[in-house]
Structure 1
């Protein structure tokens, strides 16, 4: 049985769509999943990237595309009233339900659906209080242990080469994106393509690198 480390941040609509579609995409396969909250903003900063919502034209496209993807895949999705929002409270609530860096599918589902269904303010203080009351917290969300765990999860993801969410780590490979769930399925089935030069040679391909200012 293969194991998947699923790196996610509740701010990402693509992570939400991937989370919802994962069981259908991997139907019939035997696998286990560890859901690992990470701070997407810290991942972007590490790689010197802007988020999709920080580029005006890409922001508009992203919102249109994720709603289309929900439509064609039968996944209920509404944009939060404000996006992007600060996801720290949601990430810390998730990790406060666990003694380690992994959260249950129930916890991830509860938080994702709170954010991506209903079209309300994700960061509303009253809604966050209600969300905390629905979860079985085992640690203090604002405590040092939870904060350290979020950083450790994010550092772990970066060490494995994660550059965005959703990202799935299987064996020594990282696969990224909602649209790569079919690729994830192939990896779980030990498709020989992953041992071919098409996968192995990507890291060695030469190309012009734009200098950073």
Structure 2
């Protein structure tokens, strides 16, 4: 009987892996775009308009990421319920707290302390997400700390790339009719790319545990 059931088990495991990788890619892409847009808005001359626009981008990105988690566990529900909105606001606020802590302390020490604080906040936020989608949370705090540390590390690299480096690579000008095109890659772009890699690793580990047996 166990031999007959093995193909079904293998098929279910393969589907879980595909769903997990797809969800991790989607969540990482959403988070990278949202954080990258927010960071590019606030890293320069910060005004009330850019701050509000950045908050809006972060909130929408957090809401979409929660929707991806809901789809992955097959319990999307209503994202506008108070619990979902509360966790979304908490995630949005955690990015603001992270940046404020780093700026108040300053230098590499500020980046390091902000990373530790951010990792703890993210771990708590992941636990709340599991509770909202009715997933078991007993014994998961330590396991969820690893994705939190990965995301905080990626965010720290993004911040350090902008604060402590000042370089850019530009291509030769190319004429396209009356327009001249120059491709320019700076420290911010590289930092966002590295953050995206860390975000994928973090979410892949989350969904692997979330969808695993």
Question: How would you bin the TM-score normalised by the shorter chain?
Answer: under 0.3
Identify, as 1 or 2, the structure richer in helix.
Answer: 2
Computing the radius of gyration over CA atoms, which structure comes out larger, 1 or 2? 2
If asked which structure has higher relative contact order (CA below 8 Å, sep 6+), I would say: 1
Q: TM-score, normalised by structure 2?
A: 0.27
Identify, as 1 or 2, the structure richer in strand.
Answer: 1
Q: TM-score, normalised by structure 1?
A: 0.27
